[in-house]
Every structure is written in structure tokens, then in C-alpha cells.
Amino acid sequence: MAKEIIIPDIGDFDSVEVIEVLVEAGDTVAAEDSLISVESDKATMEIPAPEAGVVTEVKVAVGDQVSQGSLILLLEPSDAAPAAAPVTQEATPTPVVSKPAASAPRSVTQPPQHRFSPTAKIDEVSFSRAHASPSVRKFARELGVDLGRVSGSGRKGRVIKDDVKAFVKQALTQGTGGGGLAVAPMPEIDFSQWGDVETQKLSKINKLTGKFLHRNWVTIPHVTQFDQADITDLDALRKSMAAEYKDKGIKITMLAFLIKAVVSGLRELPRFNASLDASGESLILKNYFNIGIAVDTPDGLVVPVVHDADGKSLVDIAAELGEISQKARDKKLKPADMRGGCMTISSLGGIGGTQFTPIVNAPEVAILGVSRHQMTPVWNGKTFEPRLMLPLSLSYDHRVVDGADGARFTRFMGRVLADATGLVK
Ligand code: CAO
């Protein structure tokens, strides 16, 4: 006969949220195995099975609010004689509450009892700070995964079991498990021994982009192709359009031309408008054209996206750019404004520099870096001519794009930027 398993005494909490359901119907559980994780403002707890058995029905889902006495699931105790139990047996209305000593909810703050992972070095500080339930912590320890390095996909960035599995899978498929990236940990250094120092907290954006940049830097085989585009005529056109649109409050910038040129490049070489699927075995080719723009803000780097740039005129894009870079600096960008990019442009031309090696903004496969244009003597076959040259630095994922296509892309950009009238419509 199936028993009703309910939430036992969980202390002072009236109502807590189910953040993980760790079993499903048909699962066999041992006494003390975790069934669900719940979270209050202060703590995360796992509710263990009061006895061994087979789960016949789960009665809660992630996001449900539960309190002491709430029904979690129906459990067929393993000592029940299966032959004698009718298949349609109704659950007994008697709640089975966990025995306090044996199956009290376990707090996430319990220190780890065992140390697994002889090969990978676990940073105990970041491990203990990771937002994860005890069973996920245990699972991570068993696999030698440093939880602090796993990005959480659960609510509020919580690391769930699938995140740990994905981390291990990625490490194995990319050969980072035991060898390649098993780098020595950075030593903790007291810099004040050499002089006055000040500690500044990283902004939320710094921390988030840092994580993604690090992942992209170590997991994507980058190649950067350098080139130059002759933008002498484009600059003249831009200046005349800028004068025309100034009164309308629209700043016609080089970036608007670059977005149009990148859209043409993606049409010409569709492998640049793609992403590897999660298995790394197929390429997903996109038939839409969303271009991300790296924007430098006082809090760090953000990448808003100009969606469906292929259907917008150069002036529309210039107007949109004004709005999104302002929104970025005013911290008003919404998550949807930063999603769905096909390729990113990082323009440092307004600041300076001759070339750089931008990091691909995964799951995109390429990023175009742009540096400061320079009037340069260019040999035309007879004389040197002064031409305004724009340095391009195209980084791409070499698993998807080969070197020949990398050079074809920047050459193509060179051609469309040299004759920019086609980009205006
Ligand atoms: N060469 C020379 N000058 C350039 C130029 C280039 N390639 N691109 C822009 N400029 C000049 C413009 O002509 C303009 O000059 P005026 O003020 O005299 O008109 C000035 O630089 C500012 O340019 P802009 O208003 O057109 O802005 P922008 O397109 O250069 O930049 C934006 C917009 C949002 C990209 C920029 O503000 C920004 O945040 N850049 C940094 C991006 C970044 O951090 N990338 C790094 C990511 S990887 O770590």
C-alpha cells in the first residue's frame, strides 16, 4: 500500500519553495535518500525519504510552496509484499512523517563529510559559496567537480544536477578533465606586504561577463584574422549623412555601417551565422540577422543586440544604436535586449589602438573587432594615395570556421565597406 510522504517539521518556516524534485515515479529510494529540496529566505533543506520504497507518484513540482504537512509523494514501502498489494491500491490517508532523528531535513550549511576527487583541486571557499543543494554538492564531490566553477541554470543561478553533468561532459569532450586545464590554483597573496592597497568589489556585470569570457577563452579554439578596409568614401558619405540627420537627433555612426556590412557578410558566408549544438556534433544555421554590440559602461561590458538588422535601414539602425547604448549606460537593458545575437561587433575605434584580439561571444562563432581608422599612404600602382584605412580584427571559432573563410570574411567586409552606398538602404 502506498504511503503518503509529507513535509516533516522544518522549523520556523510557514511556507518554503520547492526548488528541486530529485525523484520521479518508478524510482526506488533507500531510507534517507533525498526526495526534494526546499528553500526559504535563510536556508536550503533536503527532505529525505523516511523509509525505503518505490515512488509511485510525485505530488509536488518545482516552484510549489509547501509547509509542514504538505504531501510530497506516494511511496510503496519496499517491505510491502508486492504480490499482495492490489495495483489500484489507494494511498493510506495516514501521513508518514519523517522520524526526527533519522530523517530531519538536512541543511545546506552542513560541512562536507567526505573528500572525493583525487585528481581535481576543489577550491573549498568557492565550493561552499556555490548556490546548490546538499545532494548536488555531494554529487559534485563524488565527481571531483569544483562547484564554484559551474554556472547555475536553476532559479536565481542555482546549480542543479544537470549543470554538474554538463560541466563534466564538457570537460570530457574538450579534454579538460584531468589534463589540459588542470592548472595550478592561483595562490592567495597578501599584496599589502609590498605597499598600500585597496580592495574593490567587482560589479555584478564584471563577475558575470568574467565567467562567460573565461569559459569562451578556454573552450573555443580562437583564431584572429587581421585586415584593413578602405573607408575613405564611406567616411565622406557618413559625414554628409551625419550633417543631414543631425537636426533629427540621429547620430549616423560608423557602427551603423559596420552592422549593415556584417549582415552582408553573414549572408555571403552563412557558417558565420551559426552555432554549434550542445553535443558539438551539428551546426545550427540561422536565417535571421541579429547583431550584438559591445558597449562599455561604468559597471562593465554589456552586449545589447540589434535584432533583425537585415530588415532595417542604416538610419533606423543608427537611431536604434543611440537608444540602446544610452539604455546600456543607464542600466535599463532588459535580458531580452541582450539575447539572440548572431555575431558581435566590438568597436574600440573611438578610443584608439591599432588591432586587438576580441573573444568570441559564444554561442556565436565570430566577433568583429574594429580599431581606430588612420589616414595611410596606399600604393595604387603608380603613386601613394592617402586613404582612410579601418583596421579589422575578426576572431572566430576554428571548429566552425576555417582559416580560408576567416580571410574571405574580412576581405568581403573590405569590399562592402569600400563601396558603402549599398549599405544605406
Ligand atoms: N576610428 C576613428 N574614430 C572613430 C572610430 C574609428 N573606428 N569609431 C568611432 N570613432 C570616433 C567617432 O567619429 C566619434 O568621434 P566624434 O565624437 O568626433 O564624432 C567618436 O569616435 C565616438 O564614436 P561614436 O559616437 O560613433 O561611438 P562608437 O561607434 O565609437 O562607439 C560604442 C559606440 C557603444 C561601441 C562605444 O561607446 C563603446 O562602448 N565602445 C567600447 C566597446 C568595448 O568595450 N569593446 C570591448 C569589448 S571586448 O572586451
Which tens digits make up the pLDDT trace of 55-80?
999 999 988 999 989 999 999 998 75
Rounded Cα distance between 179 and 192, Å, is: 34
Alpha-carbon gap, residue 344 to 266, rounded angstroms: 12
Place of cell 564611406: 234
Query: What is the predicted pLDDT for the residue at 168?
Result: 86
Model confidence band, residue 156 (pLDDT cutoffs 50, 70, 90): confident
Most informative mutation of 257, 347, 390 for ligand 1 (most atoms within 8 A of CB):
347
Q: Which grid coordinates belong to 391? A: 583596421
Within 6 A (CB) of ligand 1 lie 253-255, 293-296, 301, 325, 346-350, 358, 370, 372-373, 390
| pLDDT for 120 | 55
Beta partners for residue 71, in sequence order = 6
Tell the residue nearest (CA) to atom 29 of ligand 1. 255
Residue ID of nearest Cα to ligand 1 atom 23: 350
Mean pLDDT of 205-221: 94
What are the helix (H) ranges across 35-143? 100-103, 124-129, 134-143
**How much distance in Å is there from the Cα of 268 to the middle of ligand 1?**
26
Helices (H), 144-203: 161-173
Question: Taking the alpha carbons of 405, 407, 413, 418 in that order, is the dihedral positive or negative?
Answer: negative
| 355 Cα: distance to centroid of ligand 1 (angstroms) | 14
For residues 199-215, average pLDDT:
93
Q: What is the pLDDT of residue 78?
A: 87
Q: Check: CB of residue 285 under 8 Å from CB of residue 270.
A: yes
For β-strands 343-347 and 291-293, DSSP reports them as parallel
User: Of 423, 359, 343, 336, whose CA–CA distance to 217 is shortest?
Assistant: 359
Predicted structure pTM score: 0.65
Nearest ligand 1 atom to alpha carbon 356: 48
Please state, in angstroms and rounded to a whole number, the distance separating the CA atoms of residues 230 and 217: 30
Report which residue type is found at 76: E
**Which residues make Cβ contacts (< 8 Å) with residue 252, sequence separation at least 6?**
238, 241, 242, 245, 314, 315, 318
Closest-CA residue, ligand 1 atom 1, reads 372
Compute the distance from residue 228 Cα to the ligand 1 centre, in Å: 17
Residue 398 designated active-site = yes
**Residue 220 Cα to ligand 1 middle (Å):** 27
From residue 140, give the alpha-carbon distance in Å to each of 38, 285, 364: 19, 34, 29
Query: Are the beta carbons of 369 and 338 closer than 8 angstroms?
Result: no
Q: Looking at residues 254-259, what average pLDDT do you find?
A: 98
C-alpha cell at 224: 584572429
Q: Which residue has the higher pLDDT, 139 or 115?
A: 139
Nearest ligand 1 atom to alpha carbon 390: 7
Which H/E stretch holds residue 370? strand 366-370
- What pLDDT shows up at residue 46? 86
Cα–Cα distances in Å, from 78 out to 238, 304, 339, 374?
77, 55, 49, 78
Q: Ligand 1 atom closest to Cα of 367?
A: 48
For residue 378, the tally of other CB atoms under 10 A from its CB is 15
Residue from 231, 234, 241, 254 whose mutation best tests the ligand 1 pocket (most atoms within 8 A of CB): 254
Residues 283-317 have pLDDT tens digits of 999 999 999 999 999 989 999 999 999 999 999 99
